A = this chain, B = another copy of it.
Amino acid sequence: MEKKKPAGQPDKRQAIINGALALFARDGYTRASLDAIAAEAGVSNRTIYNHFNDKAELFQTVIQESTQRVADTVVDVIDRHLSKVVDLETDLVDLGLAWLAVLTSDLAPHFALIRQINAETEHIPPAALRLWQDTGPGRVRRELAARLRQIADRGHLTIDDPTRAAGHLMLLISADNLADRAMLNDKDEVTAMVSAGVHVFLYGYKR
């Protein structure tokens, strides 16, 4: 009784977006059919067109939604680990582990979606592409850069270009992830990767 279906507008739209995210992430824009998305969302094909004008609009909406969600969580992870630094190395390692935990969380499909975006670059309107860059990875990068600047100002590191340093740290933390994603399931390998990455970052920007 609690979850009776409200025939009205409420959460159908969200269900569509979630289902579309799952299929776009796995199959890509072209391969993911609207019928399959409708089935995944537990919704009629026709209903999708009551909420979105066409497939492209749905795709862009999915990108924005998912990007917003993930950016929020990652920014939160950054703030939680770098707002007050006690021991820089262990704090950075913890940050890296928490970061990678997001990759295997329920937000995992988002990162498959990102790979789709990176592949579809030529077929996505540049405006949407810039918007994504700015509210997604760009925002995370800026947040991390700001934290690094604080840390540098306290004399722990020497950073001339915090934005670039933020990029370096992001890459070093998840280095092997780009080569072999299956490794994310081995806890020991993950900590080894993060520790090594943080170590290089720390000594690379030492003093």
Contact = CB atoms under 8 A, between A and B. Distances in A.
A168 B200 contact: yes
A66 to B, nearest CB: 15
A21 to B, nearest CB: 15
Contact of A171 (B141, B172, B180, B196): B172
Question: How many copies are assembled?
Answer: 2
A167 B42 CA distance: 43
A106 interface: no
A197 B164 CA distance: 9
Contacts of A175: 164, 167-168, 171
Interface in A50-100: none
A55 to B, nearest CB: 13
Nearest to A30: B30
Interface in A116-164: 116, 118-123, 133, 137-138, 141, 161, 164
A75 B107 CA distance: 37
A193 interface: yes
State the main secondary structure of chain A at its contact with B: helix
A82 to B, nearest CB: 19
Nearest to A176: B167
Contacts of A176: 164, 167
A172 B206 CA distance: 16
Contacts of A196: 161, 164, 168
A119 B118 contact: yes
Q: Which of A133, A137, A204 has the most CB of B within 10 A?
A: A204
Given A168-B172, A172-B172, 10 more contacts: A28-B120, A30-B31, A116-B119, A119-B120, A133-B179, A168-B175, A200-B205, A203-B203, A203-B204, A203-B206
Interface of A: 26-28, 30-31, 112, 115-116, 118-123, 133, 137-138, 141, 161, 164, 167-168, 171-172, 175-176, 178-180, 193, 196-197, 199-206
